């Protein structure tokens, strides 16, 4: 998997493109806040998208999951300071690592369910 940082002034456009390319992929999200160890916050839920907005004059990244009301979940990262993304060459897996200004970190892992079906059928 090749990874690369996303330049801050491109975050909004990146989030839009990343969302279109990965909507519906199966997601897991691990989060570390306040110096605590990583904990699983989302496990095997459909990824709906990522958005970057300005709130109170600072960037905010929102990751959303699930299609049904009972499974819908949003994780909000206030003041992200770094985004790092990667994807496998065969486009079967992707990831996004977000570090926030307060020392928090989240790791989004995505799997393309259609690609897995193609591999099983081959």
Three-point CA angle 115, 120, 122, nearest 5°: 95
Residue 56 has a pLDDT of 83
pLDDT of residue 85: 97
Q: What is the pLDDT of residue 122?
A: 47
Alpha carbon distance 51, 38 (integer Å): 23
The pLDDT of residue 33 is: 86
Residue 116 is predicted with a pLDDT of 54
Residues of the chain scoring pLDDT < 50: 119-122
Is residue 58 within 8 Å of residue 78, measured between CB atoms?
yes
Instruction: Name the residue among 1, 114, 113, 11 with its Cα closest to residue 63.
Output: 11
Q: Which of 73, 79, 72 is nearest to 99 (CA)?
A: 79
Distance CA 119, CA 99 (A): 33
Alpha carbon distance 28, 102 (integer Å): 22
CA 98 – CA 116 distance, rounded (Å): 26
107's tokens = 């790791």
């Amino acid at each position: 998997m090749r990874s690369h940082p996303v330049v801050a002034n491109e975050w909004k456009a990146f989030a839009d493109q990343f969302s279109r390319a990965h909507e519906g992929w199966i997601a897991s999200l691990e989060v570390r806040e306040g110096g605590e160890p990583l904990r699983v916050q989302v496990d095997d839920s459909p990824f709906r998208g990522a958005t970057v907005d300005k709130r109170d004059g600072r960037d905010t990244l929102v990751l959303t999951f699930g299609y049904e009301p009972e499974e819908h979940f949003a994780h909000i990262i206030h003041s992200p300071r770094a985004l790092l993304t990667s994807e496998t060459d065969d486009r079967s897996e992707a990831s996004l690592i977000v570090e926030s200004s307060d020392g928090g970190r989240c790791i989004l892992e995505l799997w393309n369910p259609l690609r897995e079906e193609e591999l099983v059928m081959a």
